[in-house]
A and B are shown apart, each in its own frame.
Chain A
Amino acid sequence: MHTIIEPFRIKSIEPIYFNTALERKSVLEKAFYNPFLIHSNDVIIDLLTDSGTSAMSSNQWAGIMNGDESYAGSPSFFRFKETVQGITGMPFIIPTHQGRAAERILFEMIGGPGKFFISNTLFDTTRANIEFSGATGIDLICEEGKHPSIPAPFKGNMDVKALTQTIKEKGAENIPLIILTITNNSGGGQPVSMQNIQAVHKVCKQFQIPLFLDACRFAENAWFIKMREEGYADKTIPEIVHELFSYADGCTMSAKKDAFANIGGFLAMHSESLALQCRNLLIITEGFPTYGGLAGRDLEAISIGLKEVMEENYLQYRVRSIEYLTEKLVAAGVPVMRPGGGHAVYLDAKEFLPHIPIDQYPGQALTCALYEEGGIRSVEIGSLMFGKYDSGGKLIPATLELVRLAIPRRVYTQSHIDYVAEVVIDVFKKRNQIHGLEILEEAPALRHFTVKLKPITV
């Protein structure tokens, strides 16, 4: 087989600024060992997130020029609405400035103290929004999903048995929603199988609980279904996507991922009464229902991006480029989540740095080491992001200690990826020299964004 190449060429470029290891050492110190606080000018390869960092196509830029900025009733909105309706099969579409706003509106509406939201794994902002409303989030990931190094095709699946049991325990009336995150970001960007979605749907039906998808990487998930699930090889991506959404009562979407947009999101649903309530909240904090806090041009870019992402050539290239990096790291013995996910490579920090105890945040220490070595910015998805304290102030660790190397869509070339692999491998070779970290200052919610730390040196 030939090499899979990019199904596009470069139309506009952005220069990268290079710095030295010595400079990076001082940048890291000034940023209190938190990559979120590093200026992007000081980053060589930015793998912090795949959210909002995509390169838009020339078609999307043309859409940007076509944006109608009318406050109310813009044709850009009607085009957006039609596209989203077509993909999700849901009639009520509510634009928001980004995904977390869609989540916040939804959970403010139906959350509250005493309520439980069950998911395969909730992402950081989703969990924060649920907890902010006073409700509790419960993750029920399947057994395979808990072991990074053991490959399995659908490690994002929900444990359906545990789901039924949890519903019975908590009472269906206390569970406003079940949420499936596709692909499962916090669990390594791993896909959920169609069979699992069907099974969860069945349980939801039985207990009359609505099922929502956190759909920001729906196309990547559809591609994995096509590649790995029996009976789907000959189906087209739009067909698979259509089936996927047909089991859901609604979805939240951050268009900053699979829609290649730099900003934007939406809520889609079947229930008219819920949509009406959501719109009432939308107006207060986001904007009028036909723009939802977005410029008209961004609505255009999203609707064009949503169509582009379902191209098979693109998805093949996208998933292959993640696999490519995964394979290189595996060959060098670096402990990574296997198989590769849809949007990122996840390093297993627990195995990478076994000498650093969990309460010294090995994942965060590894992100710092990667930055210092090669100017690569990554993000910790572990106990810094999801850890909690018990009543005695002791850290309750997260299930996994991962470092995510998120690959922005259509941005970096194969040589950039080769460079990333080399840097990771170099860090792996001198892993014994890496120290743990302690927290100096933290916020009550979503602490990882602004936390300040310092290295523990003996």
Chain B
Amino acid sequence: MEKRKRSWAEPYKMKMVELLKMTTLAQRKKALQEAGYNTFLIHSDDVYIDLLTDSGTSAMSDRQWAGMMLGDEAYAGSRNFFHLEKVVQEVYGYSYLVPTHQGRGAENILSRILIRKGDIIPGNMYFTTTRLHQELAGGKFEDIIIDEAHDPENEFPFKGNVDLSKLEKLINKYGAARIPYVSIATSVNMAGGQPISMANLKELRAFTKKHKIRIIHDMTRVAENAFFIQQKEKGYDKKSIREIVREINSYTDGATMSAKKDALVNIGGFLAVNDWDIFEEARNMVVVYEGLHTYGGLAGRDMEAMAIGIEESVSKDHIKARVGQVLYLGNKMLNYGIPIVKPIGGHGVFVNAKKFLPHIPQENFPAQALAAELYLDAGVRTMERGIVSAGRKPNGENYFPKLELVRFTIPRRVYTQAHMDVIAESAAIVYDRRKKIKGLKMVYEPKYLRFFQAKFEKLQ
């Protein structure tokens, strides 16, 4: 007998819905013009399917909402803080917790504590806010990710890996004393949500130990990375996501976390370290920037939702459905012949705009132009991750990143398979008329993190 297909559906059902507004082409045209061809500046009311980011856009579970009602809003010593502290210690394995209102709050504090002027911070590809905080603290970011990561066609399964020879060169050039830590992201966002392997992390740990350099973990999507290790790395198929997450963290000395991703909350983050002295300093500093160290600028209810969300994020069924949905969309787009970053990442599908729009040179912002065009077609909002996001070097020159991508980020537990179908079909329609798409010129450029607020005009 022929083997029948067996579908696997979401391990949850809907408990509360949010109504969407449908728009016409004319309305979208107007909205896009008003937004200066920057999808960040479109009002969310004018968006049909919002794939701008997976950050803070998750649907919380009924258990998390119940936790919201258990918020203890005491200014000092809230119950929810102690719950969160316990969960972070148990699930993530770090000793000391400093909550912050979101991930960049933690990055700010960490960079100010660890980086001195002239320091070098090697990392597996930059991330916008992370690098900015490093630079503002007087440091310089150096990319040590493997070369494969910069090639969207390369199908190596662990494109988040570190090239140790690149790190070694930096140590030889600058000396270990000028490298306060190596910054390691799990599920490397700018590379297309690409995981780092456990083997690579172990090697890195042994190497940095020799040179007495810390490893700080950008752990916002650690569970998604753990899923790829479980699926693809030898010796891990029998281990649980929880175990793998603990093992990843055990090779690092501390972490910054935006809980708005993996941890399924709408707001929140933290800094977690194993070193008491760093913790003490962070606790003193968090009061200035964020709030007292037992709330860090968060309502008590948000700490409770985070604690519950962290537990849910390492459940097998959750992570399988989560990454499975991203793979579904990615494979569908591949079937339409759309050039995307391979392998498909954990939190979104990244379209290769250089290949999609080969007639637009990088200085005319092909990814930005493509994101605008995608919005116009069906109201799907995506995000540029290319030359606009890369910004300028401290000396004022533009960075020219090898990757010029449009990110289709999938919020967790929000959209259905039918939504995924609409997205892929719309991308295919835009792909059919790609030759007619024109580049853009930038008419307003903010000083920091320009991609958020820059404005553009269409080239004629």
Contact between chains at A263 and B104 (CB < 8 Å): no
Contact between chains at A446 and B44 (CB < 8 Å): no
A404 CB within 8 Å of chain B: no
Please list 13 pairs of residues, one from A and one from B, whose beta carbons are closer than 8 Å in the complex, sorted by A's number. A38-B77, A41-B77, A48-B74, A48-B75, A53-B73, A70-B44, A97-B290, A97-B297, A284-B108, A295-B302, A445-B284, A446-B287, A450-B293
Contact between chains at B449 and A36 (CB < 8 Å): no
**Which single member of A43, A68, A101, A295 contacts B44 (CB below 8 Å)?**
A68
A139 CB within 8 Å of chain B: no
Complex CA distance for A73 and B383, rounded to whole angstroms: 14
Complex CA distance for A36 and B267, rounded to whole angstroms: 24
Residues in B whose Cβ lies below 8 Å from that of A279: 446, 453
A73-B44, A285-B105 known; A101+B289 contact, CB < 8 A: yes
Interface residues of A in 268-289 (CB under 8 A from B): 279-281, 283-289
A46 CB within 8 Å of chain B: yes
Contact between chains at B104 and A285 (CB < 8 Å): yes
Complex CA distance for A42 and B78, rounded to whole angstroms: 10
Q: Mark B121-140, 1 if CB is under 8 A from A, else 0.
A: 00000000100110010000
B388 CB within 8 Å of chain A: no
Interface centre among B78, B267, B283 (most CB of A within 10 A): B267
Binds A, one of B50-58, B87-95, B177-185, B199-207: B50-58
Binds A, one of B35-43, B238-246, B366-374: B35-43
Complex CA distance for A298 and B298, rounded to whole angstroms: 11
Residues in A whose Cβ lies below 8 Å from that of B174: none
Contact between chains at B40 and A67 (CB < 8 Å): no
Q: Mark B273-304, 1 if CB is under 8 A from A, else 0.
A: 00000000001100111111101011111100
Residues in A whose Cβ lies below 8 Å from that of B69: 12
A129 CB within 8 Å of chain B: yes
Residues in A whose Cβ lies below 8 Å from that of B56: 69, 71, 291, 295
Contact between chains at A295 and B267 (CB < 8 Å): yes
Contact between chains at A293 and B267 (CB < 8 Å): yes
A340 CB within 8 Å of chain B: no
> Taking beta carbons and an 8 Å cutoff, which residues of B are in contact with A?
16, 18, 39-47, 50, 52-53, 55-57, 68-69, 71-79, 82, 101-102, 104-105, 108, 129, 132-133, 136, 266-267, 283-284, 287-293, 295, 297-302, 446-449, 452-453
Complex CA distance for A296 and B294, rounded to whole angstroms: 23
CB A27 to nearest CB in B, in angstroms, measures 10
A376 CB within 8 Å of chain B: no
Interface centre among B16, B71, B284 (most CB of A within 10 A): B284
Query: Which 9 pairs, one residue from A and one from B, show the smallest C-beta to C-beta distance?
Result: A70-B44, A40-B74, A97-B101, A73-B43, A39-B77, A262-B299, A295-B267, A263-B299, A295-B266
Contact between chains at B301 and A262 (CB < 8 Å): yes
Contact between chains at B75 and A263 (CB < 8 Å): no
A263-B297, A280-B446 known; A40+B55 contact, CB < 8 A: no
A37 CB within 8 Å of chain B: yes
CB B52 to nearest CB in A, in angstroms, measures 5
CB B435 to nearest CB in A, in angstroms, measures 30
**Which single member of B73, B289, B290 contacts A52 (CB below 8 Å)?**
B73
Contact between chains at A40 and B79 (CB < 8 Å): yes
A52-B75, A295-B266 known; A78+B129 contact, CB < 8 A: no
CB A74 to nearest CB in B, in angstroms, measures 5
Complex CA distance for A100 and B296, rounded to whole angstroms: 12
Complex CA distance for A77 and B88, rounded to whole angstroms: 31
Additional A-B contact list (15), CB under 8 Å, known A40-B74, A53-B74, A98-B101: A67-B266, A68-B18, A70-B52, A70-B57, A71-B53, A72-B44, A72-B52, A97-B102, A281-B448, A284-B132, A293-B297, A377-B76, A445-B287, A450-B283, A450-B293
**Which single member of A41, A54, A283, A450 contacts B284 (CB below 8 Å)?**
A450
A90 CB within 8 Å of chain B: no
CB B110 to nearest CB in A, in angstroms, measures 12
Contact between chains at A104 and B289 (CB < 8 Å): yes
Complex CA distance for A310 and B159, rounded to whole angstroms: 56
Complex CA distance for A177 and B177, rounded to whole angstroms: 43
Contact between chains at A449 and B43 (CB < 8 Å): no
Contact between chains at B73 and A450 (CB < 8 Å): no
A297 CB within 8 Å of chain B: yes
Residues in A whose Cβ lies below 8 Å from that of B104: 284-287
A51 CB within 8 Å of chain B: yes
A189 CB within 8 Å of chain B: no
Contact between chains at B136 and A284 (CB < 8 Å): yes
Residues in B whose Cβ lies below 8 Å from that of A297: 266
Complex CA distance for A289 and B82, rounded to whole angstroms: 31
Complex CA distance for A217 and B411, rounded to whole angstroms: 38
Complex CA distance for A262 and B287, rounded to whole angstroms: 17
Q: Mark A286-325, 1 if CB is under 8 A from B, else 0.
A: 1111010111111000000000000000000000000000
Contact between chains at A36 and B292 (CB < 8 Å): yes
Contact between chains at A72 and B42 (CB < 8 Å): yes
A392 CB within 8 Å of chain B: no
Complex CA distance for A200 and B373, rounded to whole angstroms: 53
Residues in A whose Cβ lies below 8 Å from that of B266: 67, 69, 295-297
Residues in A whose Cβ lies below 8 Å from that of B453: 279, 283, 289
CB A165 to nearest CB in B, in angstroms, measures 32
Contact between chains at A71 and B52 (CB < 8 Å): yes
A128 CB within 8 Å of chain B: yes
A68-B44, A284-B104, A297-B266 known; A263+B302 contact, CB < 8 A: yes
Interface centre among A71, A283, A289, A293 (most CB of B within 10 A): A71
Interface residues of A in 66-105 (CB under 8 A from B): 67-75, 78, 97-98, 100-101, 104
A35 CB within 8 Å of chain B: yes
Contact between chains at B74 and A444 (CB < 8 Å): no
A412 CB within 8 Å of chain B: no
CB A258 to nearest CB in B, in angstroms, measures 16
**Which single member of A52, A68, A125 contacts B299 (CB below 8 Å)?**
A52
Nearest opposing residue in chain B for A52, CB measure? B73
A132 CB within 8 Å of chain B: yes
CB A14 to nearest CB in B, in angstroms, measures 8
**Which single member of A46, A283, A450 contacts B452 (CB below 8 Å)?**
A283
Complex CA distance for A97 and B41, rounded to whole angstroms: 21
Residues in B whose Cβ lies below 8 Å from that of A67: 266
Complex CA distance for A406 and B441, rounded to whole angstroms: 55
Complex CA distance for A74 and B46, rounded to whole angstroms: 10
Complex CA distance for A18 and B105, rounded to whole angstroms: 36
Complex CA distance for A262 and B101, rounded to whole angstroms: 13
CB B452 to nearest CB in A, in angstroms, measures 6
Interface residues of A in 28-71 (CB under 8 A from B): 35-43, 46, 48-49, 51-54, 64-65, 67-71
Nearest opposing residue in chain B for A261, CB measure? B299
Complex CA distance for A8 and B368, rounded to whole angstroms: 52
Contact between chains at A293 and B76 (CB < 8 Å): no
